[in-house]
Amino acid sequence: MIGTLLKYRWKNILHQPLLFLMILFFPFVLIGLVGVGFFQYFQGQTEQIQVAVVDEDQSPETRTLLDQLQKEGALGESLSLIPMTEGEARKAMENGSTAAIVTIPPGFTNDLRHGENRPIHVMTSSEKPLASSMVTILLESGARYISAAQSGVNTVYHLYIKALDSREERSELLQQVIIQFTLFALNRDQLFFTEKISLGATVGWIQHGVIALMFTGFIISSMILQTIFNRTINCTIQERLIAMNVGSAVYVFSQFLLYLTYFSMQLMVIALLLSKVFTMPWLISLPAVVTCLGLALATASILSLTDIVIASPSVKMTINAILFATGSLLSGILIPEIYLPEWMNQLSPYLPWTWIYQSFETIITDNSWPLTDWAWITLFALILLVLSAGYGKIKEGKYGSVFFPSG
């Protein structure tokens, strides 16, 4: 009986081939065009992030360090380091002209000479979360290289400089070594550029964009499919199914299988097209195919549950839109997790969309099989299916048929 009902639903879909193809491809084309437009716009409108620097140390080493940081290729393209007093910096932060204040404390160079690492204080603006996150990422990256330079300075100091008799000679040589090691550590344009990309999006911005395009287009398409073809069982067919004593389980699983087969086919086609357009062969690898099936499985189970619980098509679409939009945001699909607040990152491990994205990450970065994420996705879908069947049974007992909405 499940097969008969599934066949009937597919027949209704294929009787409208133009609509079928529009649902299949149009959301991806639309989102792709919008994405290209935004990309071109922001590429033309990119501005440096303004960062106020309060140098309370005022030593030749810190001035050299700041000058080199500003000249450093990748960092100089992203940040503009503006020397200010503390009062000027706070005023600039209040009026929104700077995204962060970097304060170099007094005695910073002196501590460095003695092998002590006094932290540089960074204050970021809560009103500019994306710019503040970028500042933090770039400065943390720079800090690792400065720390490496400090290790080199300490080694030279303890093995050679410390043994010199002349205090003046020790001081002069130490200053030269500090500058030399710092400049050497910062001479890393290509390496810094690669690191910045990996921290922004673990899989790289282009591959992250492709995943976001595939996921967002698929979700929009799935909600359109649910809304348009959810009324394919007309009153005559409903009466016939009731007379044949078709229960809630048959209805729920036929609906689920319709979604699963349609979504699986759609994702396979889209993954194949995207792999050719963006030259990403991993999209059609076996682990990626299984992950796409996992996405189809999770989405089919969610829509099956909302089908049986919510009667109104408009309410159903609204609830699904909120669920999918919130889930894709929290899971880092729309915006990489590094740019999200900490409380969002704490919620993301419990979402099926996170498991989907992590599966793609594992495939791309580790070239391995994300078995744990697949297991969580499968368990999630099974739980929702059980809930759908259980609610359908309650609905059937209350109204005599699963087809009579409970509102």
Phi, psi for 100 (deg, rounded to 5)? -160, 160
Q: Distance (Å, rounded) from C-alpha 5 to C-alpha 250?
A: 8
Q: Can you read off the two tokens belonging to residue 85?
A: 């007093």
CA 312, distance to chain mean position in Å, is 32
Query: Do 260 and 297 contact (CB within 8 A), yes or no?
Result: yes
Per the rule left: phi > 0, alpha: psi between -120 and 50, beta: everything else, 205 is alpha
Half-sphere CA count of 386, side-chain side, radius 13 A: 6
238-260 per-residue burial string, b: 16 or more CB within 10 A, e: under 16: eeebeeeebbbbbbbbbbbbbbb
Residues in Cβ contact with 345 at an 8 Å cutoff, skipping those fewer than 6 apart: 337
As beta bridge partners, residue 102 has: 53, 122
Q: Can you read off the two tokens belonging to residue 302?
A: 């969610």
| Parallel/antiparallel/unpaired status of strands 121-124 and 100-104 | antiparallel
pLDDT in 10s for each residue of the chain, 407 residues: 677 777 777 777 777 777 777 777 777 777 777 666 655 554 544 567 788 888 888 877 677 667 766 665 556 666 778 889 988 988 888 888 888 888 888 887 777 666 566 667 778 777 776 666 666 666 665 555 555 555 555 555 555 555 565 666 656 655 555 555 454 444 443 333 333 333 445 677 788 888 988 898 899 888 888 888 765 455 555 556 655 666 667 778 888 998 999 999 999 999 998 898 888 999 999 999 999 999 999 999 999 999 888 878 889 889 999 999 999 999 988 888 877 888 888 888 999 999 999 999 999 988 899 999 999 999 999 999 999 988 888 876 666 555 544 33
H or E segment and range at residue 283:
none
Q: Can you read off the two tokens belonging to residue 106?
A: 């007094």
